[in-house]
């Protein structure tokens, strides 16, 4: 029983650390969380009850999107972006788990999806993450020769 | 002559203002949408004002409000 509780605690810490690292590296993400598709929060960079509320709202968003998908007769939903002038909500689905992020207006969509997919892969594998997309792009730019040098 | 010049100036100003309003409204509408990506690699974009998008967008707005207080 005690060992089981310890394992759960370590797993939770790992997810929290991964979220904190992603939040630190990505300049576009305001809040990021991991939850079940039913809206049960696993970990979040938001403090207090905000993370819990966001997880439930994200679950509602995914439920509504799933109904739209069913009405259209499409394949399973993989990810979504709900964009408003004030910002965007992103969700990437992986089985019963989902990674959710909020951003400001006009985010770089591909980078946010890349970061959330990487986060889910990292949590699944329990290994050190590759750098977030923003950081990877920055490192690549630093390492590439300047135009004038050629 | 002077009255005519004033009228033309006012007309150009009004047209410019109306154009700005129309442009802003269009830009805002195109920025408000729901993009759904499916496992087969296809994507559907639901425009603001469509019944399907209106099921999702209020929830997203509420989520962004909560995120802003985090």
Map out the domains of chain A as residue ranges: 2-125
Whether the predicted model's global pTM rises above the 0.80 cut: no
pLDDT at A77 > cutoff 80: yes
**Chain B contacts of A86, Cβ < 8 Å?**
61, 64
E strand or H helix that includes residue A85: none
Q: Does B54 touch chain A (CB under 8 A)?
A: no
What value does the mean pLDDT take over residues A61-69?
A: 97
Averaged pLDDT of chain A: 83
Of the candidate CATH numbers 3.30.450.30, 3.30.1330.10, 3.30.420.40, 3.40.50.300, the domain formed by A2-125 belongs to: 3.30.450.30
Question: Across the interface, which of B34, B38, B67 has its CB nearest the CB of A54?
Answer: B67
Average per-residue pLDDT for chain B: 88
Both tokens assigned to A143: 């390492």
Mean pLDDT value across residues A111-132? 80
Domain boundaries, given as residue ranges, for chain B: 1-31, 33-70
The percent of residues above 90 in pLDDT, for chain A, comes to 64
* Residue scoring higher pLDDT (B3 or A65): A65
Tens digits of per-residue pLDDT, B5-24?
888 888 888 888 888 777 77
pLDDT at B16: 84
* Per-residue pLDDT at A134 exceeds 70: no
Q: How confident is the model at residue B27 (pLDDT cuts 50, 70, 90)?
A: low
Give the mean model confidence (pLDDT) for residues B24-35.
Answer: 78
Among A65-79, A83-97, A120-134, which stretch is predicted with the lowest mean pLDDT? A120-134
Which candidate from B39, B44, B66 shows the least CB-CB separation from A72?
A: B44
Nearest CA among A10, A11, A32 for reference residue A21: A32
In contact, B60 and A89? CB cutoff 8 Å = yes
pLDDT given for residue A1 in this prediction:
40
| 8 Å CB contact of B36 and A69 | yes
Tell me which of B42, B48, B59, B65 to substitute to probe the interface with A (most A C-beta atoms closer than 10 Å): B59
ipTM exceeding cut-off 0.90 for this assembly: no
CB-CB neighbours of B68 under 10 Å: 14
Name, in order, each residue with C-beta under 8 angstroms of A81's C-beta and a sequence gap of 6 or more.
A88, A89, A90, A109, A112, A113, B34, B35
Say which of A46, A68, A78 has its CB closest to residue B70: A46
Pairing of strands A41-44, A29-36: antiparallel
């Amino acid at each position: 029983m005690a060992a089981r509780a310890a394992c759960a605690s370590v797993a939770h810490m790992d997810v929290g650390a991964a979220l904190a690292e992603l939040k630190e590296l990505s300049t576009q993400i305001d809040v990021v969380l991991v939850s079940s598709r039913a809206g049960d929060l696993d970990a979040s960079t938001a403090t207090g009850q905000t993370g819990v509320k966001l997880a439930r709202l994200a679950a509602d968003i995914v439920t509504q999107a799933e109904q739209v998908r069913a009405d259209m007769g499409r394949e399973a939903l993989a990810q979504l972006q709900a964009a408003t002038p004030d910002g965007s909500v992103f969700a990437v689905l992986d089985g019963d788990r989902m990674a959710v992020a909020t951003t400001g207006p006009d985010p770089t969509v591909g980078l946010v999806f890349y970061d959330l997919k990487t986060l889910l892969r990292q949590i699944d594998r329990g290994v050190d993450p590759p750098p977030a997309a923003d950081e990877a792009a920055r490192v690549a730019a630093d390492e590439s020769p300047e135009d004038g040098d050629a | 002559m002077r009255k005519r010049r004033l009228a033309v100036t006012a007309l150009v100003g009004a047209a410019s203002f109306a154009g700005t309003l129309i442009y802003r409204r269009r830009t805002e509408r195109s920025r408000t949408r729901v993009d759904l990506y499916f496992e087969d690699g296809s994507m559907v974009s639901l425009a603001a004002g469509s019944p399907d998008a209106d099921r999702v967008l209020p929830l997203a707005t509420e989520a962004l409000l909560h995120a802003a207080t985090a």
